[in-house]
Amino acid sequence: AQTVTQSQPEMSVQEAETVTLSCTYDTSENNYYLFWYKQPPSRQMILVIRQEAYKQQNATENRFSVNFQKAAKSFSLKISDSQLGDTAMYFCASVNSGGSNYKLTFGKGTLLTVNP
Amino acid sequence: NAGVTQTPKFRVLKTGQSMTLLCAQDMNHEYMYWYRQDPGMGLRLIHYSVGEGTTAKGEVPDGYNVSRLKKQNFLLGLESAAPSQTSVYFCASSQGDRAYYGYTFGSGTRLTVV
């Protein structure tokens, strides 16, 4: 079974600064996918970034990037130039590839507050 | 381009009452999922379906039943609601290995059981 751990229940950052959210995971599979989802107060689940485990290059999407350390089973999210609209709950998630049900396993979330 | 639609968006139930949450998707996705979100617990999988007519238990299935009679609909039922089922419920769908690009989520149902 997969597990995803987010050890920071809450974080805060000043506008325009950089913040890193931590995530570790555990899986016995060799190939899998990792995700960061954002949930603003609207409650909508928004995919921020994804990483394929067999790709060593870290994924980036504009101000969002990840630090993927496969051996350490670590998948942190870096948000650069933080904006007020980044205030949200952030969930780390994983899915094993090659399975038949494509179930996503989520961490408990990190509430990020961006202060003006 | 509705995607995944959940009804209702909000509901208050009394303990012991029953209700059904409806999830409808218009993307012809095979896979559908019901999650519950509770503070400090993240999203936990209740039940899921890998195709029309199929259902399977997830991580926290007790107290819930599901049905997938039509491919586009996935129903979550509470036969006798309990306060512990107060939560936000999310439905999601995916098309096979397109799940590796993420799910399509509904906007959630906030259920309060008093």
B4-16: pLDDT as tens digits: 999 999 999 999 9
Asked if the C-beta of A84 comes within 8 angstroms of chain B's C-beta atoms, the answer is no
* pLDDT at residue number B80: 97
Confidence of residue A97 (pLDDT cuts 50, 70, 90): confident
The token pair at A34 is 């990792």
* pLDDT at residue number A30: 84
For residue A43, give the nearest of B41, B101, B108 by CB distance.
Answer: B108
* pLDDT at residue number A67: 97
| Higher per-residue pLDDT: B111 or A102 | B111
Evaluate if residue A4 carries a pLDDT over 90: yes
Confidence of residue B1 (pLDDT cuts 50, 70, 90): low
Confidence of residue B23 (pLDDT cuts 50, 70, 90): very high
Q: Measure the CA–CA gap between A5 and B7, rounded to whole angstroms.
A: 31
Of A80, A66, A86, the closest CA to residue A25 belongs to A66
Evaluate if residue A63 carries a pLDDT over 70: yes
Of the residues A8, A64, A104, A111, the best mutation for testing chain B's interface (the one with the most B CB atoms within 10 Å of its CB) is: A104
pLDDT digits (tens, 9 = 90+) for A5-22: 999 999 999 999 999 999
- Asked whether the beta carbons of residue A103 and residue B97 sit closer than 8 angstroms, the reply is no
* pLDDT at residue number A104: 94
Evaluate if residue A98 carries a pLDDT over 90: no
* pLDDT at residue number B12: 98
Residue B1 identity (one-letter amino acid): N
The token pair at A116 is 């003006």
For residue B102, give the nearest of A35, A106, A107 by CB distance.
Answer: A35
Q: Measure the CA–CA gap between B11 and B84, rounded to whole angstroms.
A: 15
Task: Give me the half-sphere count of Cα atoms (radius 13 Å) on the Cβ side of residue B24.
Answer: 8
Evaluate if residue B63 carries a pLDDT over 80: yes
| Residues in chain A within 8 Å Cβ distance of B97 | 97, 102
Mean pLDDT, range A77-96, rounded to an integer: 97
Evaluate if residue A26 carries a pLDDT over 90: yes
The burial of B108, by beta-carbon neighbours within 10 Å (0-12 exposed, 13-18 middle, 19 or more buried), is given as buried
Average pLDDT, chain A: 95
Mean pLDDT, range B21-28, rounded to an integer: 97
